[in-house]
């Protein structure tokens, strides 16, 4: 027998028994832990037996030590109060292991992988959604009565006519800034006469369609996502399905067709207003007469240059409409998800527009346009 102020142990060939003594309280916890740690239990086919008849006091700290060192052992002769306290203390086996610190390199690659997976899911979802919409569009062409002309007209009003003031103002300001910066820099080399060339080329090929698409994505695209998201939360989309109507035909196609019509028209108006704004700066900085400016623009603005910019507009419109309606119809949960979907719709559509513009630039460069 090995004696101590808190525990005695008895061993035979089949069993190992422990007798608890004294006060198992927080004041003696360190000494009790040291004693228990020094008494390694002999491996046996049976769990050790614990006798608590001589135990004088027991508090939470002592009960925790019993749970830690004798998690499955049978404890005999406990008082009702000690039994209740032991039952109250949770099992130490249920405690969570401390989380392992992950290196910064691992976190970096994990974040990159998560972003790549999210981008792939978005790409796959938008492509599948666009394919479904295209099939529905072909069916509508087979039966034109399915086109919702009233809804298309209303969305043309919202995305096109109502956007004219802001798009025109933005095009005017952008062209004036481009003309001013070009004149300021080219004057240093005595080439300020090429200010008109730089302004017209940048507007027709890139700036007008890109700025208009970004403005439409922020203005109309966010409205698409928010409207469809609220309809999804209120159960209106499910109600359409219950009545046998296709939400894509009823909600998506009118917005897509309206944007395919309005974005090229807005781009054309932005071209006209932008050239006018560049003319105002040319008259002031270069002292050209209106006829001289118009003649210079006529020699620069070729039909090929005009259509190089205009051909981008339907593609940008399709990207904006598809992404924004897709995000709107994927809203679920709460009003917070509407805000997140709207933010994602605007950010992703602008990102795709800029990426598509870069692809167009590379393709046109290879084609010599």
| Whether residue 152 has pLDDT greater than 80 | yes
Least confident among 45-54, 120-129, 196-205: 45-54
> Is the pLDDT at 60 greater than 90, yes or no?
no
Instruction: Note the pLDDT of residue 197.
Output: 85
Q: With 60 as the cut, is the pLDDT of residue 97 above it?
A: no
**pLDDT reported for residue 2:** 47
Share of the chain above pLDDT 90, in %: 18
- Residues forming beta bridges with residue 2, ordered by sequence position: 9
**Mean pLDDT to the nearest integer, 312-316:** 93
**Across residues 169-177, what is the average pLDDT?**
90
pLDDT for res 12: 58
Task: Read off the pLDDT of each residue in 87-96 and give the average, rounded to a whole number.
Answer: 62
**Per-residue pLDDT averaged across 102-108, rounded?**
79
- Residue 75: phi and psi, rounded to 5, are -105, 120
Cα dihedral sign for 301, 304, 308, 313?
A: positive
What are the Cα distances from residue 269, in Å, to 194, 203, 240, 265, 294?
24, 12, 37, 6, 17
Phi-psi category of residue 46: left, alpha or beta, with phi > 0 → left and psi -120 to 50 → alpha: beta
Distance CA 75, CA 80 (A): 12
Task: Output the furthest CA–CA distance in the chain (Å, rounded).
Answer: 117
- 3-state secondary structure (DSSP) of residue 262: helix
Can you read off the two tokens belonging to residue 262? Answer: 């309005």
Task: Categorize the per-residue pLDDT at 313 as very low, low, confident or very high, splitting at 50, 70 and 90.
Answer: very high
pLDDT of residue 15: 66
When mean pLDDT is compared over 72-86, 261-275, 276-290, the highest value belongs to: 261-275
End-to-end CA distance of the chain: 98
Burial class (CB within 10 angstroms; exposed 0-12, middle 13-18, buried 19+) of 135: exposed
Reported as a pLDDT band with limits 50, 70 and 90, residue 43 is very low
Residue 366 has pLDDT above 60, yes or no: yes
Instruction: Give CA 32 to chain center in angstroms.
Output: 54
DSSP string over 258-315: HHHHHHHHHHHHHHHHHHHHHHHHHHHHT---HHHHHHHHHHH--HHHHHHHHTHHHH
3-class secondary structure, 335? helix
CA distance 36 to 7: 8
- φ, ψ of residue 332 to 5 degrees: the values are -160, 150
The domain segmentation of the chain, as residue ranges, is 7-94, 148-367
CATH of domain 7-94: 3.30.750.24
Where would I find the H helices in 12-103?
29-38, 60-69, 80-88
Mean pLDDT of the chain: 82
Nearest residue to 196 via CA among 286, 284, 119: 286
Quick one: pLDDT at residue 42? 47
- Taking the C-alpha atoms of residue 64 and residue 68, their distance in angstroms, rounded to an integer, is 6
Distance CA 89, CA 61 (A): 9
Question: For the segment 336-360, what is each residue's pLDDT rounded down to a tens digit?
Answer: 888 888 998 999 899 999 999 999 9
Kind of pairing between the strands at 49-58 and 16-24: parallel
């Amino acid at each position: 027998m090995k004696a101590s102020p808190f525990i005695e142990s008895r061993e035979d060939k089949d069993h190992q028994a422990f007798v608890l003594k004294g006060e198992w309280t927080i004041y003696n916890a360190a000494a009790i832990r040291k004693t228990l740690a020094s008494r390694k239990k002999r491996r046996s086919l049976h769990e050790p037996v614990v006798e608590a008849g001589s135990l004088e006091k027991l508090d939470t700290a002592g009960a925790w030590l019993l749970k830690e060192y004798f998690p499955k052992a049978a404890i005999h002769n406990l008082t009702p109060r000690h039994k209740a306290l032991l039952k109250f203390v949770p099992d130490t086996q249920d405690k969570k292991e401390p989380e392992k610190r992950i290196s910064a390199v691992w976190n970096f690659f994990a974040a990159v992988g998560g972003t790549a997976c999210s981008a792939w899911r978005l790409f796959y979802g938008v492509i599948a959604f666009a394919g479904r919409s295209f099939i529905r569009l072909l069916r509508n062409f087979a039966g034109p009565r399915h086109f919702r002309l009233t809804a298309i007209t209303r969305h043309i009003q919202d995305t096109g006519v109502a956007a004219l003031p802001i798009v025109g103002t933005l095009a005017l300001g952008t062209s004036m800034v481009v003309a001013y910066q070009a004149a300021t820099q080219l004057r240093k080399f005595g080439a300020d006469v090429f200010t008109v060339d730089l302004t017209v080329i940048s507007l027709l090929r890139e700036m007008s369609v890109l700025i208009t698409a970004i403005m439409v994505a922020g203005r109309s695209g966010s409205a698409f996502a928010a409207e469809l998201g609220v309809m999804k939360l209120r159960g209106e989309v499910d109600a359409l399905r219950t009545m046998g109507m296709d939400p894509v035909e009823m909600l998506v196609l009118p917005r897509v067709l309206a944007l395919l019509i309005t974005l090229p028209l807005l781009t054309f108006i932005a071209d006209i207003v932008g050239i006018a704004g560049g003319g105002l700066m040319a008259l002031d900085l270069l002292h050209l007469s209106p006829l001289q400016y118009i003649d210079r623009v006529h020699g620069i603005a070729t039909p090929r240059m005009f259509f190089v910019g205009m051909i981008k507009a339907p593609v940008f419109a399709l990207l904006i409409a598809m992404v924004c309606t897709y995000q709107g119809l994927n809203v679920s949960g709460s009003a917070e998800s509407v805000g997140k979907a709207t933010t994602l719709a605007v950010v992703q559509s602008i990102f795709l527009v800029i990426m598509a513009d870069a692809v167009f630039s590379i393709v046109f460069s290879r084609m010599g346009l």
